A and B are shown apart, each in its own frame.
Chain A
Amino acid sequence: MSGKNIREKGIQSLLFLSGTVAVVALFLLCIFLFREGILLFEDYPVSSFLTNTKWFPTASPPIFGLLPLLLGSLIVTAGAIMFSVPLGIAAAIYISELANPRISSILKPVTEILAGIPSVVFGFFGLVILAPVVQRTLEIPTGQTALTGSIMLGIMALPTIISISEDAISSVPRSIKEGSLALGSTKWQTIYRVTVPAALSGISAAVMLGIGRAIGETMTVMMVTGNSAVIPGFPSGLFAPVRTMTATIALEMGEVPQGSDHFHALFAVGSVLFITTFIINILANYVKRRYRFNL
Chain B
Amino acid sequence: MPDNFANGTEIEVTNLNLWYGENHALHDISINIPKNSVTAFIGPSGCGKSTFLRCLNRMNDLITSCRTEGNVGINGQAIYTKDVDVVDLRKRVGMVFQKPNPFPMSIYDNVAYGPRIHGAKKNAIDGIVEDALKAGALWGEVSDRLNSPALDLSGGQQQRLCIARTLAVKPEVILFDEPCSALDPISTSKIEDLILELKKNYTIVIVTHNMQQAARISDYTAFFLLGDLIEFGKTEQIFESPKEKATEDYITGRFG
Contacts and interface: CB of A to CB of B under 8 A. Distances in A.
Output the residue of B88, B102, B113, B118 with the most chain A CB within 10 A.
B113
Interface string B141-182: 000000000010000000000100110010000000000000
B113 A180 contact: yes
B117 A295 contact: no
Interface in A163-185: 173, 175-176, 178-185
Contacts of A197: 104-105
Output the residue of A179, A194, A198, A294 with the most chain B CB within 10 A.
A179
B91 interface: yes
14 contacts: A175-B99, A175-B101, A178-B97, A179-B102, A181-B62, A182-B57, A182-B95, A183-B90, A184-B87, A184-B114, A185-B117, A193-B113, A194-B113, A198-B104
Contacts of A185: 87, 113-114, 117
B117 A193 contact: yes
A189 interface: yes
Interface string A140-183: 00000000000000000000000000000000010110111111
B91 A184 contact: yes
Given A179-B162, A294-B151, A184 B118 contact: yes
B102 to A, nearest CB: 8
Q: How many residues of A sit at the interface, in one of the four size bands? A: 20 to 34
B105 A184 contact: no
B48 interface: no
Given A178-B59, A193-B117, A183 B101 contact: no
Contacts of A184: 87-91, 114, 117-118, 169
Interface string A216-246: 0000000000000000000000000000000
Nearest 9 interchain pairs by C-beta = A184-B91, A182-B95, A175-B101, A184-B90, A179-B101, A183-B114, A185-B117, A198-B104, A184-B87
A250 to B, nearest CB: 44
Interface in B55-112: 57, 59, 62, 64, 87-91, 94-95, 97, 99, 101-105
Contact of A178 (B62, B91, B94): B62
A60 interface: no
- Chain A interface helix/strand/loop/mixed: helix
A16 interface: no
A182 B90 contact: yes
B216 to A, nearest CB: 25
A27 interface: no
A295 B87 CA distance: 26
Given A184-B91, A185-B87, A185-B113, 20 more contacts: A175-B101, A176-B103, A176-B104, A178-B62, A178-B97, A178-B101, A179-B97, A179-B102, A179-B165, A182-B97, A182-B166, A183-B90, A183-B94, A184-B87, A184-B117, A186-B87, A193-B117, A198-B103, A294-B151, A295-B101
Interface string A180-222: 1111111001000110011000000000000000000000000
B115 to A, nearest CB: 10
A181 B59 contact: yes
B83 to A, nearest CB: 17
A185 B57 CA distance: 13
Contacts of A180: 103, 113
Contacts of B118: 184
A16 B87 CA distance: 56
A102 to B, nearest CB: 11
Nearest to B104: A198
A180 B95 CA distance: 10
Interface in B105-147: 105, 113-114, 117-118
Given A182-B57, A193-B117, A194-B103, A175 B97 contact: yes
Interface in A80-111: 100
Contacts of A182: 57, 59, 90, 94-95, 97, 166
A289 to B, nearest CB: 15
Interface string A12-49: 00000000000000000000000000000000000000
